[in-house]
Structure 1
Amino acid sequence: MTLDFRPGLGAVAWRRSSYSNTQGGDCVEVADGFPNVLPVRDSKRPHGPVLVFGVPAWSAFVNEVRADRSV
C-alpha cells in the first residue's frame, strides 16, 4: 500500500485490486474511504492520472468482469 498526497485526495492509501495481474503487469489500484466514489489508478504510473468512479458504476463494472470470467 502506498500513500498519495495529491491535492484533493489527501493522504490516500492505495491497494492493489484483486482483479489485477499477479505478475506485476496490468495492475489497478484503488483507494477506499471516500463516500460514494472510488479513486482508481494504474500502479505502473503512481503519479499519473486518477480516475474517480461512482460506487454504483464501479460495482456494475466489477459485476460485468465477474460475469465475463465465468463464461
Structure 2
Amino acid sequence: MGGREVVQIIRESDPEVKVLVSSGDLSDPAIVAFAEYGFSGVLTKPYNKTGLDKAIKSVLSPGS
C-alpha cells in the first residue's frame, strides 16, 4: 500500500486531518503534486528538528 492509499484511508476517518508526506526523492509524484495526492504538506529528507517544526507549523497554520 502506498502513501496515496494510506492518506485516503486516514481521511475516511477524519477528513480534516493534516498529513505530511516525506521523501528524499524530489521527483516523486507525491512530493511534486502533494495536494493532488491528498497530503497537507511536504517534508523532504533528510530533515532536522527545525525542518520538521517548520513543516508541522505550516500545515497547522490557519488557512492551510
TM-score above 0.5? no
- Which structure is richer in relative contact order (CA contacts within 8 A, separation 6 or more)? 2
Higher CA-based Rg:
1
TM-score normalised over the length of structure 2: 0.27
The structure with more strand, counted as a fraction of residues: 1
TM-score normalised over the length of structure 1: 0.26
